[in-house]
């Protein structure tokens, strides 16, 4: 690992925190890095502190500019970056000393275009909590993986991200980042991270998801209350159009557009709730099929067409995998009369199956179905059940 990593730190009036931030970057065990501090027209001592770091350490580069906002500051910093790899740190946060060594190794070993990790929320009361996205640790290929795209954005609106849409818990190959960063509207204050991160992730040939939490996100009391933004919907539309242009040309366009539309509905309703003080419900309860224990393919059986089974089937249908599975239920005749493509469980006997997934709520019902399946000759290790998770 000898590639230069450029760490971009946009800063505006952060004299209270920027020293802890920069010190944590300069203390990295990975020594081949440069730190680009973009002073975005600060009116406090932030710019002077940045210059002092540049005088003491040749790895620090300082750029002073008139106040232009966060999106433009990121672009200016990346344009000045000499490294093949790029990372970001917000000027009021800090990182563990081995973060970039770890991310660089994961990036190179997986040959990914970017590597993403979790982060640690640091609260004003001194407590902290690690946060991970819902996509499990692993190596993914978004352009050919509809299930990854299905879970990439929001697994549960407002609460659970598949891949958290933040710059700072990731390391990018600069060549993979720049095309999407340049297209972000400089006026965006809501969703500028969405507008770059999700197109970049979705368009990558390979993405490495890790379970590490080495980035420390400081929640400041001043940032916990947001004022009303009269331009909220103008900015939301700009974010939507940026994502739409990329997703419509993607190999998994139907999946991504469905997720994007759901995300925009949630953000629009959230904006209405915030500006008008309403509490409109923006989520519909549903059972989410995450495929944690097995891969879905032509050797998969879905055994049950109850409430959970139908939710699972709809999830598979959304990503086009329903055509590859055999869906069966004991009451198949009545279900067929309702128009559902459910078949007789005896169809399982027609050929070997790699996995039989039993989507039911009660463990007792699962055990009953399991015994029936074993009696039919299905091997026990190929029968799967997990307690269904209701997402609201």
The per-residue pLDDT for range 319-369, each reduced to its tens digit, is 666 777 899 998 988 888 777 899 999 999 887 788 899 988 888 899 999
Do 91 and 104 share a domain, yes or no?
no
Residues 144 and 28 in one domain: no
Look up the pTM and report it: 0.73
Shared-domain flag, residues 89 and 137: no
The total of structural domains in the chain comes to: 3
Point out the domain boundary residue: 95, 115, 145: 95
Which residue range is the domain that position 326 belongs to? Answer: 286-391
Q: Are residues 265 and 292 in the same domain?
A: no
Strand-pair category, 207-218 with 138-140:
antiparallel
Read off the CATH number of the domain in which 309 is found: 3.40.50.720
**pLDDT of 117 above 90:** yes
CATH at 86: 3.90.550.10
| CB of 16 closer than 8 Å to CB of 42 | no
- Cα–Cα distance between 309 and 289 in angstroms, integer? 9
Q: Are residues 81 and 114 in the same domain?
A: no
The residue out of 95, 129, 155 marking a domain boundary is: 95
Q: Quote the DSSP letter at residue 183.
A: T
- Per-residue pLDDT band for 286 (boundaries 50, 70, 90) equals low
- The verdict on 315 and 277 lying in the same domain is no
- pLDDT value of position 284: 47
Res 141: pLDDT: 97
Which residue among 64, 79, 95 closes a domain? Answer: 95
Same domain, 292 and 270: no
Same domain, 223 and 74: no
Half-sphere exposure (CA, 13 Å, Cβ side) for 385?
20
Clarify whether residues 211 and 328 are in a common domain. Answer: no
> Of the ranges 74-78, 131-135, 269-273, which is most confident?
74-78
């Amino acid at each position: 690992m000898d590639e230069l990593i450029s760490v971009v730190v946009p800063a505006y009036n952060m004299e209270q925190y920027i020293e802890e931030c920069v010190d944590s970057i300069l203390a990295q065990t990975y020594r081949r890095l440069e730190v680009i501090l973009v002073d975005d027209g600060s009116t406090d001592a932030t710019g002077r502190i940045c210059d002092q770091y540049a005088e003491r350490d040749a790895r620090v580069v300082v750029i002073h500019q008139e106040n232009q906002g966060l999106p433009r500051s990121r672009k200016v910093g990346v344009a000045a970056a000499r490294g093949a790899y790029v990372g970001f740190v917000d000027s009021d946060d800090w990182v563990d000393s081995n973060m970039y060594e770890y991310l660089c190794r994961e990036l190179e070993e997986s040959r990914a275009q970017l590597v993403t990790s979790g982060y640690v929320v640091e609260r004003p009361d001194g407590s902290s909590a690690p946060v991970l996205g819902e996509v499990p640790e692993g190596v993914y290929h978004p352009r050919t993986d509809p299930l990854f795209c299905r879970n990439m954005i929001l697994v549960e609106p407002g609460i659970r991200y598949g891949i958290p849409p933040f710059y700072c818990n990731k390391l990018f190959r600069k060549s993979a980042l720049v095309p999407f960063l340049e297209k972000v509207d400089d006026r965006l204050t809501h969703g500028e991270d969405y507008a770059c991160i999700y197109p970049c992730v979705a368009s990558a040939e390979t993405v490495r998801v890790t379970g590490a939490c080495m980035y420390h996100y400081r929640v400041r009391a001043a940032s916990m209350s947001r004022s009303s933004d009269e331009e909220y919907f103008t900015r939301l539309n700009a974010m939507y159009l940026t994502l739409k242009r990329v997703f419509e040309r993607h190999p998994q366009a139907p999946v991504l557009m469905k997720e994007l539309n759901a995300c925009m509905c949630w953000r629009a309703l959230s904006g209405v709730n915030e500006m008008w003080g309403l509490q409109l419900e923006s989520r519909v309860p549903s059972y989410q099929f995450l495929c944690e224990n097995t891969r879905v393919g032509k050797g998969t059986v879905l055994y049950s067409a109850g409430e959970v089974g139908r939710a699972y089937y709809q999830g598979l249908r959304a990503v086009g995998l329903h055509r590859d599975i055999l869906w069966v239920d004991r009451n198949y005749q009545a279900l067929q009369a309702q128009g559902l493509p459910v078949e007789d469980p005896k169809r399982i006997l027609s050929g070997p199956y790699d996995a039989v997934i039993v989507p039911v709520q009660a463990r007792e019902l699962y055990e009953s179905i399991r015994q029936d399946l074993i009696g039919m000759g299905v091997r026990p290790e190929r029968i799967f059940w997990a307690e269904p998770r209701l997402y609201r």
